[in-house]
Structure 1
Amino acid sequence: MNIYFTSGQVSKLFNISKQTLIFYDKIGLIKPDHIDPNTLYRYYSIEQFFYLYLILALKTSGIELKNIHNYLNEHSIPTTIDLLSSQIRTLNHKIAELETAKNTLDQTLKQIEYGIRLKENNPYYFKYFEEQYLYTFPIDKTDITKDFSLTFSKLANKYIGDYSTMKWNYGCIVSLKPTGEFNNRELFIVLDKPDHTLPLIKRPSGEYLCTFHKGKYDTISETIQKLLDYAEQNCFTILGYVYEHQLINSFMTDDCNEFITEISIGVE
């Protein structure tokens, strides 16, 4: 003798809505074992509980309903192995994406905290940088935004594409003429690892002379010049580019007076 439960009883037992059961019936995933012709009440047999448990467990594991439907139509050990193996690969990919996202947010939080602490430092200091690979992009001549947001959006679209791994670690690189005058400025993002399909600039590891600029970028050239003057006064030879690393920018605050940019140059 079969034991039957109404859709209301089943929904309470499995903590799902009646609408979910109706939807599962509509797509052919699991249908009522019996529908009363007079009352139209929908009844499920206790033998169906196993399949409903299985459906909900697979769905909770992230498996799509259409794949569950196909699996139940060919329910066997080989198809179970195939289904679980496929989902494990999918979950591993998602875990890797989430780890990347978490690491990016961790680094950004540390970057903000470092930028806040910089305001308490001496105006000039030395800092060691590990080797970095920078993907550079010319600043758009029409970019009049307060922190080159227009150029960054183009760079991000070209490199990041779907924004699945948002790059907060960016800034500007400034080349100098032999006379010490500013020559060219380009936007850069710091890559986690070199991508030799892109136009890259390698920033050598070593000690860099640094300072920081607080506030709007329209006066950052004055801060850079002060750093260059300080290097000259202390008989340092300037090596390579000037790096402007935006630690706190419009991603973090609307108040451009709170922007913090670390400026660094290689010296010997």
Structure 2
Amino acid sequence: MSTYFTIGEVSKLFNLPIKTLRYYDEKGVLKPAYINPSTNYRYYSREQFISIDIIKYCKLIGMSLEEIKELINSDSSIEIMINNMNKQSELLKRKIKELTDVKTYLDDIKNSVEEILEYEINKVIIRRNKERKNIRFDLEYDKVEELELYLRKVILYLEERYNDVYPLLGVIAPYNNVKNRGEIKYSCVCDFTDRGIKNKESNNLNGVEIITPGGNYITIFFDDNWENINKYYYKIMDYIEENNIEVEGDFNEVWTMPRVDSNGKEKTFGYIEILIKNNDK
């Protein structure tokens, strides 16, 4: 058996787990050159070393086992190798773009959270915002469950289009509804990420690109469960009335970092804002 190597020896020579070599055998990617009929021990020949190198290389560039199996079992011509390299190069290019987009998204979220942390939670302030390009999804609902389901559809729509795991989402609450101190009833779900509709193509959710004006916004930051959100709206209304401030438009409720507490209850880090009228934009 001096011309053969045990599965353990091959594992050490190529830094491959034994279970991986067995899996390659099971999938027909790399069959042992010899199996002892008495012990069922697997043995590999020196000639198979190049096949193992090719398999490792192909895995490195992202080829699937089926593609590797097809390559190993073919004549492995130069043309086939080049075609596979081109194919994997294009796949890697797309993956790099996807990862770059994800990193940009994570950096934006991190920057938003760090900016919020500069302010005092649960305190009304005036903050200046730049003009933003957002997407509004008009909303009609009677029950909270209907709002949750619609929100999930919006998240999936944005995820498919922008590769966002969780975009900078929120809702718009009509000013008059809040002013009358009634139950907060939202009119829209909004993607507050500053980007607008990609390619302006139509969509089944009827998303509309809107311009959120720049200017001074009365703002309150919160870190709480959505069931307690009314008190933050009313705190802003108290501030508006006590200081005789004119505002325009509706309230934006922006969710920067939704999460779950130790009791499994939803908790959101975010803010509520409304534009001050006639300010210097």
* TM-score (norm. length: structure 1): 0.78
Equivalence map 1:1-268=2 (5 Å): 3-37=3-37, 40-72=40-72, 73-119=74-120, 123-138=124-139, 140-143=141-144, 149=148, 151-160=150-159, 164-176=163-175, 185-195=187-197, 196=200, 197=202, 198-214=206-222, 215=224, 216-229=228-241, 233=244, 236=246, 238-248=247-257, 250-251=258-259, 253=261, 259-268=269-278
Q: Is the 8 A contact 2:123 2:221 kept in 1?
A: no
Q: Which amino acid aligns with 2:42?
A: R
Q: In the alignment, is the contact (CA less than 8 A) between 1:174 and 1:242 conserved in 2?
A: yes
Name the amino acid aligned to 2:187.
R
Q: CA deviation at 1:9?
A: 1.1
Aligned CA-pair RMSD: 3.4
The alpha-carbon deviation at position 121 of structure 1 amounts to 9.8
Q: Contact conserved, 1:247 with 1:262, CA < 8 A, in 2?
A: no
Give 1:104 shift. 2.1
Separation in structure 1 between the aligned mates of residue 266 and residue 28 of structure 2, nearest angstrom = 57
228 and 185 in structure 1: CA distance in 2 versus 1, 3 angstrom threshold:
farther
Q: Deviations over 1:29-54 (max 9, x none)?
A: 22333344555543322222111111
Distance 1:40 1:85 in 2: 40
CA spacing shift, 1:167–1:21, aligned 2, 3 Å:
closer
Give the distance between the partners of 2:239 and 2:254, measured in 1 at CA.
Answer: 15
How far did residue 18 of structure 1 move?
Answer: 3.2
Shift of 1:70: 1.0
**Structure 2 CA distance, aligned partners of 1:217 and 1:85?**
53
Distance 1:41 1:192, change over 3 A: same
| Corresponding residue SS for 1:32 | coil
The alpha-carbon distance between structure 1 residues 244 and 30, as it changes in their structure 2 partners (threshold 3 A), is closer
User: Aligned-pair distance for 1:256?
Assistant: 7.5
- How many residues in Structure 1 have an aligned counterpart in Structure 2? 259
Instruction: Supply the AA of the counterpart residue of 1:156.
Output: I
* Amino acid corresponding to residue 188 of structure 2 in structure 1: E
Q: Distance in 2 between matches of 1:144 and 1:44?
A: 60
Whether the 8 Å contact between 1:135 and 1:191 is mirrored in structure 2 is: no
What is the letter of the counterpart of residue 128 of structure 1? Answer: N
* Contact 1:136–1:201, Cα closer than 8 Å, also in 2: no
**Per-residue deviation, 1:84:** 1.1
Residue identity opposite 2:229 in structure 1: Y
Is contact 1:171-1:189 (8 Å) kept? Answer: yes
Task: Write the deviation string for residues 86-132 of structure 1: whole angstroms up to 9, x where unpaired.
Answer: 11111222222222222222222222222232217973324122322
Identity of aligned residues (%): 23
Structure 2: runs of 5+ lacking an equivalent: none
Is the CA contact 2:220–2:232 (under 8 Å) kept in the aligned structure 1?
Answer: no
The answer as to whether partners of 2:122 and 2:221 remain within 8 angstroms in 1 is: no
**Offset, 1:265:** 1.0
- Helix, strand or coil at the partner of 2:117: helix
Structure 1 residues without counterparts, runs of 5 or longer = none
> Under a length normalisation based on structure 2, what TM-score does the superposition of the two structures give?
0.75
